[in-house]
Amino acid sequence: MTSQPTQTKAGNGPERPGGHGTPPDSGLQAGLKNRHLSMIAIGGVIGAGLFVGSSSGIATAGPGILLSYALVGTLVVLVMRMLGEMSAANPTSGSFSAHADRALGPWAGFSIGWLYWFFWVVVLAVEATAGAAILEGWIPAVPQWGWALIVMVVLTATNLVSVGSYGEFEFWFAGIKVVAIAAFIVVGGLAVFGVLPGVDSDQAGLANLTDHGGFLPNGAGAILTGILLVVFSFMGSEIATLAAGESEDPQRAVTKATNSIIWRIGVFYLGSIFVVICLLPWDSKSIAEDGSYVAALDSLGIAHAGQIMNFIVLTSVLSCLNSGLYTASRMAFSLGQRGDAPKAFARTTSRGVPQTAIIASVVFGFVAVFFNYKFPDSVFLFLVNSSGAVALFVWLVICFSQLRMRKIIQAEAPEKLVVRMWLYPYLTWASAALIVFVLGYMLTDTEHNGRTTVLLSLLVAGVVVAIAVVRQRAAGRRAVDAPGTADRDEVRVG
């Protein structure tokens, strides 16, 4: 396809000189049903980090961790609103990377796309190892590396079959998470108010919010430290906007996912953490030793609480693996379409599956798993730390992209603004400022590895941006040298 000497419309993907646009028929197929998208949207905000990492946040901030979750949750709601505005007008498998490409320039789409891909392939290794540890505890005859291999192979096969098979697996994985956490909130809530039959807990009660040192036992500053500990457990909310491009009604799917983000975060994050804190004193040793949710279940006398939570965590891990592989492959596919990755990444099978992009993503994931077992304290630690702040980089890019894309959409196709960011542009700028503040505060954090994470992530981001700028300048020189292309180079907006 060759770019035409006309401006692209808001509903189309970004075009590049030389034909690297995203045509309406991208090769992907609408294989995701409405129930798949609904559960992907709901389950996307419930990561394994909520179950595993919340105990350290509670130990650091006490009951005040609720404010940390509320602040980060509010930020995620605002960022998702911005992303929803752009994605409802232009549903695409590249999501925020494609929007950044058009709004900020090819260098931005290239950079954030590859950084996001890098983040998820490292997550594949982290989650595969976590899942393998649980499975080895149940069936020790198979070594941990063997379980990691089995899990990766099975979910790779699932993604290779069709997007519908990914959606079906994610529907059930996310469904188990949602049912489990909803049941926990209901049962725990009844216990907190003393109306749960057969349970008489002398520790449960609303008094746990203010006793044992008060609501902020470690001071107001602990809220900021808590933010650093919980912010990364929210990564994954944006997956619904990537998956919407393969649904029957992308605009409706994006709108629904965006509008429901508030109650999803309010119920699953704030609701469940509120129950945990009310069931047990925040400084209870069992929270630190057993984990917050296991300790809460144990306090109710629920038998085999540890194994129940292991099953739920395993389900969350498999869900994260499944979605991580899907997300990484679709971002690679979008990069391939725009000429920012090998063209093979943009090829699809007869079932609409970007096979090469999936295989390339999982291969890197396998390599990262190998590094985790062979060089856990050097190479793998570098991979984890250097990808750790990518979530914040993604959110920041979404903010700046939305500031520019709102003007583009209003000028070209205002009827496509079916989702609008609240109080534009003031809340957008406020969100960007908060993200920059969090990144800056992380630089002061040496206790929880925040400074190392930001510095290494900035290093990797700097390298990727430098490559992007060099590529863009080289492409510009080639376009100037090639006869007859100068006019076509004017087609980009922004």
Which CATH number characterizes residue 105's domain?
A: 1.20.1740.10
* Per-residue 3-state assignment (H helix, E strand, C coil) for 33-93: CHHHHHHHHHHCCCCHHHHHHHHHHHHHHHHHHHHHHHHHHHHHHHHHHHHHHHHHHCCCC
Please give the pLDDT value at position 111.
Answer: 96
Q: Does 425 sit behind a cis peptide bond, omega within 30 degrees of 0 on the bond before it? A: yes
Q: Report if residue 54 sits inside a domain.
A: yes
Q: How much is the pLDDT for 27?
A: 77
pLDDT of residue 253: 83
pLDDT mean over 427-433: 97
For residue 131, what are its two tokens?
Answer: 């899942």
3-class DSSP state of 32: strand
Q: Tell me, what's the pLDDT at 449? A: 84
Identify the three-state secondary structure at position 352: coil
- C-alpha to C-alpha distance for 101 and 86, rounded to whole angstroms: 12
Dig out the tokens for 102 from the structure. Answer: 């058009």
Residue 369 has pLDDT above 60, yes or no: yes
Distance CA 42, CA 96 (A): 19
User: Quick one: which of 451, 459, 361 has its CA closest to 122?
Assistant: 361
pLDDT at 340 over 70: yes
Residue 487 domain-assigned (yes or no): no
Identify the pLDDT of residue 395.
Answer: 95
**Position of tokens 């490409």?**
101
pTM to 2 decimal places: 0.87
* pLDDT at residue 265 in the model: 87
Give how many domains the chain has, as a whole number: 1
State the residue range of the domain holding 446: 34-479
3-state secondary structure of 247: strand
pLDDT for 250 equals: 83
Domain membership of residue 493 (yes or no) is no
Q: What share of the chain is helix, strand, coil (3-state, %, to 5)?
A: 70, 0, 30
Q: How many residues does the chain have?
A: 494
Specify the pLDDT at position 1: 38
pLDDT score at 5? 32
Minimum mean pLDDT range among 8-12, 167-171, 361-365:
8-12
Burial 347-360 (b: 16+ CB within 10 A, else e): bbeeebbbbbbbbb
Please indicate, yes or no, if residue 390 is contained in any of the structural domains: yes
Mean per-residue pLDDT for 316-332? 90
Tell whether 13 is covered by a domain. no
Residue 7 lies in a domain: no
Give the CA count within 13 Å in the CB-facing half-sphere of 312: 25
Local confidence band at 482 (pLDDT 50, 70, 90 cut-offs): low
- Is the dihedral angle over the CA atoms 335, 339, 341, 342 positive or is it negative? positive
More confident residue, 8 or 469: 469
Closest CA to 270 of 233, 221, 244, 228: 233
Q: Is residue 193 part of a domain?
A: yes
Q: Among 220, 175, 186, which residue's Cα sits nearest to residue 65?
A: 220
The answer for residues whose C-beta is within 8 angstroms of residue 220's C-beta and 6 or more apart is 64
Chain mean pLDDT for the chain: 85
**What kind and span of H or E run contains 242?**
helix 239-243
Say if residue 403's pLDDT is above 50.
yes
